Structure 1
Amino acid sequence: MPKITEEIKEVASKTRGWALATATKDGIPNVVAVAFGKLISESQILLVDVFMKKTRANIEANPNVAVAVWDMETLKGYQFKGTAHFETSGEIFDEGVQIVKSTMPQLTPKAALIVDVLQIYNLTPGAEAGKEMA
């Protein structure tokens, strides 16, 4: 299983948004922008569900997801593929609530979406673009 490196963490810390791709159980794709996210370990991503409807239904039917993150200044970026699940209580949920409330206190998070990363791909323009990272 690949590990989220310090370089990937740096890119994620500078992002202004995350792209989350899901699909129905029949394979119909959906992608949404997620404003609130954080890498929480070497193999997990936290995205906060504030407005997810179709996305939530898709994940409950098909937990396979892709997430992209990038830094617009350096054009470095990464794609993560893995499985996702929701948590509505506990330490990770509380962390998600804090992330949202620190920026937009008027919003009410519904759940923490935790992505267990199984694959990482380089999205940075150049010879390594699209390459799976070990």
Structure 2
Amino acid sequence: MAIIDEKLKEAIAAVGILPLATASKDGIPNVAPMGSVWIIDEKTIWIGDNFMKKTLQNVLENPHAALYVWSREIGGCTQLKCDVIVEKSGENVEKMRAMLHENKPNLSGKSLLILTVTEIYDCAPGPNAGALKQ
């Protein structure tokens, strides 16, 4: 069972900007940096959509993504495989906008990507590279 533990929460906070990989329904890949990222619980990550074009189109066509957590400072590398739901209005979107506007009031928060973590992998070089963590 994939769970976002405290160590991973701290790594995500330390990295700050996380690459999100998506693919179109035809398998054309896209990777984009995400800065409006919140861990909601041990299985759920919210990402605020402020400028997405290809990423948004991809998850609407193919609701799966991978979030990559790495920097030299955190001393590790983790990949989270996720299922994605897009919400464009409603209570969750309003909550996301409120969280977004606490630090960045000029951003739109035009939609919300809700990522449910399905698998977590170690991607650091070495004998465990590519191993399912949980």
Match of 2:19 in 1: 19
Say whether 1:112 aligns with 2:112: yes
Contact 1:36 1:99 in 2 (8 A): no
Cα deviation, 1:94-130, whole Å, max 9, x if unaligned, reads: 3321332122211111111011111101234444332
CA distance in structure 1 between the aligned counterparts of 2:103 and 2:87, rounded to whole angstroms: 21
Shift of 1:16: 1.9
Mapped contact 1:15–1:72 kept (Cα < 8 A): no
**Is 1:66 aligned with 2:39?**
no
Deviates most, 41-50 or 80-89: 80-89
Give SS of 1:27's match.
coil
Secondary structure in 2 aligned to 1:70?
strand
Give the alignment's TM-score, normalised by structure 1.
0.89
Cα separation, 2, equivalents of 1:75 and 1:3: 19
Alignment of 1:80 with 2:80, yes or no, is yes
Q: Give CA-to-partner distance per residue, 1:32-91, whole Å, 9 cap, x none.
A: 001110211111111110001111111111111111123441232321112101112344
Matches within 5 A, 1:1-134: 1-134=1-134
Identity of aligned residues (%): 37
CA contact (8 A) 1:84 1:113 kept: yes
**Gapped regions of structure 1 (runs ≥ 5):** none
Would you say the 8 A contact 2:14–2:74 is kept in 1? no
Aligned residues: 134
Within 2, Cα distance between the matches of 1:92 and 1:70? 28
Q: Secondary structure at the match of 1:97?
A: helix
Query: TM-score, normalized by length of structure 2?
Result: 0.89
Comparing 52-61 and 95-104, the one that deviates more = 95-104
